[in-house]
Amino acid sequence: MEQIERIKTYLLNLQEKICTELECFEPEQRFEQDAWERDSGGGGLTRVLANGETFEQAGVNFSHVYGNNMPAPATAQRPELADCRFNALGVSLVIHPRNPYVPTSHANVRFFVAEKENYPPVWWFGGGFDLTPYYPFADDVVDWHRSARDACRPFGEDVYLRFKQWCDEYFYLKHRDETRGVGGLFFDDLNEWGFERSFEFMQSVGDHFCKAYIPIVKRRRDTDYSQRERDFQLYRRGRYVEFNLLYDRGTMFGLQSGGRTESILMSLPPVVNWRYQWQPQPGSAEYALYEHYLKPRDWLNDSL
C-alpha cells in the first residue's frame, strides 16, 4: 500500500517533535535512542528518557512491523483477516512524571492494513490520548478535554463526544469498578471517512497531544509535595500496571506479534507500590480523586 511511507514519515516526525518538547523540561537528561529489528519483519525506534527532574520516565516509541498472519488482537472484530499479510505502524508514548501533581499521560496513533491476494486491502486507523492524574485540578482536566474537542471539531460536532465515550469505556478497570483516569479520546477501526480524511484525523489527534499536555506540566511541575503525596502516586501507579497488563490492546498486540518486549513494557512505571485493602480517608485530597474524578462525566459542561 503506497500510503504507508506517508504515514511513516508523519509518525517519525511526530516522535521527534514530542521528544523535543519533553526535553525542554530537562536541564540535563535526554532521550536515549534504541533502534531494533523484528525477526519476522519490521522493527522500530524506541526513545526513553529516564531519571529526569520533571519526568521520572518517558518513553516515545515508533514501530513498523509486518508479516503474513495478523496477530489475534488485530483480528478480534475481523477473524476473516487472520491469514492476511499485514503492516502495522504507529507511535505510542507513556509519560510518568516525578511530581505527583503532574498527571501521567498516554497517547498513541496507529495504522493497520491487511492484504490478501485477489481482494482489496482492508485498512483502519486508531489511537487517542488520555490523562491519569493523582492530585487532579478541575482546570487541568477541562483544558485537556478542550484540546481533545479541538482535535475532533473539524471532523464533525459529534466526533469528540463519540470518541470521549469510547475512551471512558476502554480505559476502565472492571475489577476495580473505576476509570484509569479522566479520559480523553480513543478510536479504533476508523475507515468510514475514506483514507485521506481518516489520516487527517489521526494527525490531528497526534498533533494535539502536546497542546493538551505541555501546559499542564508547566503549571504543576514545581508544586511542593511531601512523602505522603509520593506514596499515593506510587500506589495509584499500580492501577496503570494492572490496566496495561490485563486489558491494553497495544500491549497484547505487541507481545503476540513478536514485538520487542523491552519497548512494549516501557509503558510501565519505573517505581510502583501496592497496598493491601488501602482506602482513602474521607474528606482528603486522595478521597477527592475517587469521589469526583474516577468516573465518566461531561467535563466541558459539569462543575465540581
How many other β-carbons are positioned within 10 Å of the β-carbon of residue 256?
13
Alpha-carbon distance of 214 to 192, in angstroms, equals 32
As to burial, measured by CB atoms within 10 angstroms (0-12 exposed, 13-18 middle, 19+ buried), residue 82 is middle
**C-alpha cell read off for 293:** 474524578
First-residue to last-residue Cα distance in the chain: 49
Cell 482506602 belongs to residue: 279
Catalytic choice (64, 106, 145, 208): 106
| 96 has catalytic annotation | no
DSSP designation for 29 = -
Give dist(CA 245, CA 269) in Å, integer: 12
Give, as one character, the DSSP assignment of residue 92.
E
Residues annotated as catalytic are: 106
